[in-house]
Structure 1
Amino acid sequence: MKWFACELHTHTLHSDGSQTLGELAAGAANLGFDAIALTDHNTMSGLSGKAEIEQKYGLRIIPGMEWTTFYGHMVTIGLSAFADWRQANRDGIDEGIENVHRFGGIAGLAHPFRIGSPACTGCFWEYEIGNWSAVDYIEVWSGTFPSIQTNNRRAFDLWTEKLNEGYRIAATSGRDWHAQGETDDPISVTYLGIEDDAVAGNGNSTALSLHEEMLIQALSEGRASITIGPLLTLTLAAGGAFYAIGSTVPTAVERREAAEEPIRANLTLDFSVRTGLWSLPNQVCRLKLCSNLGEELNLEVPYSSDGQMMQLEAQLKESAPHIPRRWIRAELWGTVRGVHVLIAFTNAIYFEEGGYSR
């Protein structure tokens, strides 16, 4: 699996941003991003000149649009055509999501717990979702230094709640980037995972070798890891096979492994990503495995700024028959700016017996 650094929530002067697409792309390239999604409010006109700008700055630009209404903001990416947002009402967002899917796009809740009116009309999510299985992702981290913000913690908790209920929904971060400018705040990155053979088929692993559809499919399938620092990844080894982030461990494998050989978790921390563009103080971090069963693992992980790659292995305990394991994810906790925060987390690996199919 190759991982590509993405920023999935941006704006230009075609809505309420103060930057051109070229300025946005230049800023993203300087921050080590491989791809960005342009998600202007209620318009896709800002994509003009996209191909030339991609070539100039060496990154992929994914077409998108942020549905901006009185009842919430919904980020949509990968659309082949304009999906009309104007018909959505408080109890009709399900139909809007269906329209996005009809045009080949995916849809996610943007900053669902950000303060709403009168400070930010429509920013707080008020839509009544009837079919949560149609929701592709939730933007659980919004803005810079997102892990200290209360509204983001609420969004993270919402995502966890839906995973516990059996829904397979991805989590993302988004800066909601409106303008160029220096910031000392930690910047979050959504890494999307592309299968090695898909990248190899293009002859190289550069951002421009990627088709937009690869990145959209990766997010749709939950192959994502979120961080304000190192890249954290997780795979499970069971029955002679490996299961990556976003995949599902079949029931037969889980039962066989419980009886014969425990499932093993393989965790990797890559401290070499986006070198020089983030920093952490030297410290002992906590690496956790969390699931609907609670905290299943808690390890001390020493971090120093000269670290490059760290790999760990752990054994999963057998889950109780009456409380099946639905999902599992990895989390890295530590100190940033003197505050104990979540530094990085993976999307989930699912278990067939304990969850719904999408």
Structure 2
Amino acid sequence: MTVHRGRWSLEDRLERGLRELPFDVRPGTASVTVELSYDGGVIDLGCHGPDGFRGWSGGARDHYTVSADWATPGYLPGELEPGTWHVWLGLHRIPPDGVPYEVTVTTSTSSPPRAAETPPPRPERPPRRELPAPRGMRWLAGDLHSHTVHSDGTLTVHELACLAASQGLDYLAVTDHNTVSHHPELPAAGAHAGVLLLPGQEVTTDLGHANVLGDTGWVDFRRPSADWAASAAARGGLMSINHPLSGDCAWRRPLPARDRPAFVELWHSSWWDRRWGAPLAWADVWRPGGVVPLGGSDFHDPAQHKTLGEPVTWVLADDAGDGLGDVLGGLLAGRTAVSAGRDAPVLLRVEDELIAIGAGGAVLVRPDGRRAAVRGDHVRIPVDRPGMHRLETHENEVIALCG
């Protein structure tokens, strides 16, 4: 057993926010359990082994276990390599008078028992919404931001997948904080529920969050943000800036203009009054050449105010015959649209036309600010320049975005 105790001060946090407490793992060790206790503030929790990252749970847990064939959600099972390991402590919120803490590490030569999960019944799903698309392609409805028990969500991967299918979503990005421990569960859960689960992770720091989408492997949140984007691109994925104006989760990290991704989660639950133009103004400053608008519910818990699939990000993807297609390819190509929900008014770009559906009486706003009234529930409008278009009500409330 190894015990670390002490008191973190505000100066400790300001000097270095992530602390590493060492412990030794001897040959033959089958499991490691870490327990954290502290009084006041918020301390995040994680783990790193001699061969690299082994898990993160942030402030959602005060203990975890890692063993060869099982680990607490958020952590990676696997053989425990002998050597010096580290408990990660993120000094997220440390008040002026400091925070006393104690960390206890217990190793064992046996693995803890694992309870088998029984998936919920396969849900019934509403009929898919058919939207105009080029031959061989299809608009797929999805949500690009969600969480499970692998970080600070309350649903298992199976439960979340079934909820997504019952909401009529074709795909869902599962983006737990600073971990990829949920990725191995996605294919089976998605197949069971009848929904495509896109691997993702929300790279989370005190100064901003970003989603990395795709099977990219773990992205090191300790590195500069430019490295996150480069790592995602090198491995066939993409990085988007999350909820850039959302309270203390707003984006404040340095990122040179040349490294700024085009993908932005512009429509998030924090945009609760869409007459508020600040997100649109931020996007213009962030990347004058234009952004690819994305939307995500940031779903954590059925009891919260955030609803899975609100908003919906539509992706124009190659039709694979099963209705799922290549979602990541469509995202990388920038073929996106965002609406308030699956059945809400939508603005689509199909080849050289914009198509406004269910938006009679709305106002089309072009990238250069020109405005035109939309008359009719299915209106086709020629596209004369690239960039983000949007639909607004006559009161300037955004009701649809189009990449």
How high is the TM-score relative to the length of structure 2? 0.59
Is residue 227 of structure 1 aligned with residue 339 of structure 2?
yes
Residue 182 of structure 1: CA displacement?
A: 7.8
Bigger helix share = 1
RMSD of aligned alpha carbons: 2.7
Q: Alignment partner of 1:49: what SS?
A: helix
Is residue 179 of structure 1 aligned with residue 301 of structure 2?
yes
Q: Could you say which structure has the larger radius of gyration? A: 2
Q: For each residue in 1:100-121, what CA deviation from the matched residue of structure 2 results, as whole angstroms up to 9, or x when unmatched?
A: 21222100111111111xxxxx
CA distance in 2, matches of 1:48, 1:179: 22
Is residue 54 of structure 1 aligned with residue 214 of structure 2?
no
Q: Which residue of 2 aligns with 1:140?
A: 266
The structure-2 alpha-carbon separation of the partners of 1:193 and 1:77, relative to structure 1 and needing over 3 Å to count, comes to same
Query: Of 141, 148, 155, which aligns to 2:279?
Result: 155
The structure-2 alpha-carbon separation of the partners of 1:340 and 1:54, relative to structure 1 and needing over 3 Å to count, comes to same
Q: Alignment partner of 2:370: what SS?
A: strand
Residue 95 of structure 1: CA displacement?
A: 2.4
CA distance in 2, matches of 1:42, 1:115: 20
Q: Is the 8 A contact 1:234 1:330 kept in 2?
A: no
Runs of 4+ in 1 over 6 A off after TM superposition: none
Is residue 291 of structure 1 aligned with residue 367 of structure 2?
yes
CA distance in 2, matches of 1:17, 1:233: 32
The structure-2 alpha-carbon separation of the partners of 1:216 and 1:136, relative to structure 1 and needing over 3 Å to count, comes to farther
Q: Which residue of 2 aligns with 1:17?
A: 153
Q: Which residue of 2 aligns with 1:37?
A: 173
CA distance in 2, matches of 1:333, 1:155: 14
2:223 is matched by which residue type in structure 1? Q
The structure-2 alpha-carbon separation of the partners of 1:111 and 1:132, relative to structure 1 and needing over 3 Å to count, comes to farther
1:71 is matched by which residue type in structure 2? L
Q: Which one has more relative contact order, counting CA pairs under 8 Å at least 6 apart? A: 1
Aligned sequence identity (%)? 23
Q: Which residue of 1 aligns with 2:242?
A: 110
How high is the TM-score relative to the length of structure 1? 0.66
Q: Alignment partner of 1:285: what SS?
A: coil
**Structure 2: tracts of 5 or more residues without a match:** 1-132
Q: For each residue in 1:242-296, what CA deviation from the matched residue of structure 2 results, as whole angstroms up to 9, or x when unmatched?
A: 43xxxxxxxxxxxxxxxxxxxxx44241x5xxxxxxxxxxx9531314122x224
Q: Is the 8 A contact 2:240 2:264 kept in 1?
A: yes
Residue 34 of structure 1: CA displacement?
A: 0.4
Aligned pair count?
263
1:1-358 to 2 correspondence within 5 Å?
A: 1=133, 2-88=138-224, 93-116=225-248, 123-132=249-258, 134-143=260-269, 146=271, 148=273, 153-162=277-286, 165-167=288-290, 169-181=291-303, 187-194=310-317, 198-199=318-319, 202=320, 204-207=321-324, 210=325, 214-228=326-340, 229-235=344-350, 242-243=351-352, 265-269=353-357, 271=358, 285-292=361-368, 294-301=369-376, 310-314=377-381, 327-334=386-393, 341-347=397-403
Q: Alignment partner of 1:36: what SS?
A: strand
Q: Is the 8 A contact 1:233 1:330 kept in 2?
A: no
The structure-2 alpha-carbon separation of the partners of 1:205 and 1:124, relative to structure 1 and needing over 3 Å to count, comes to same
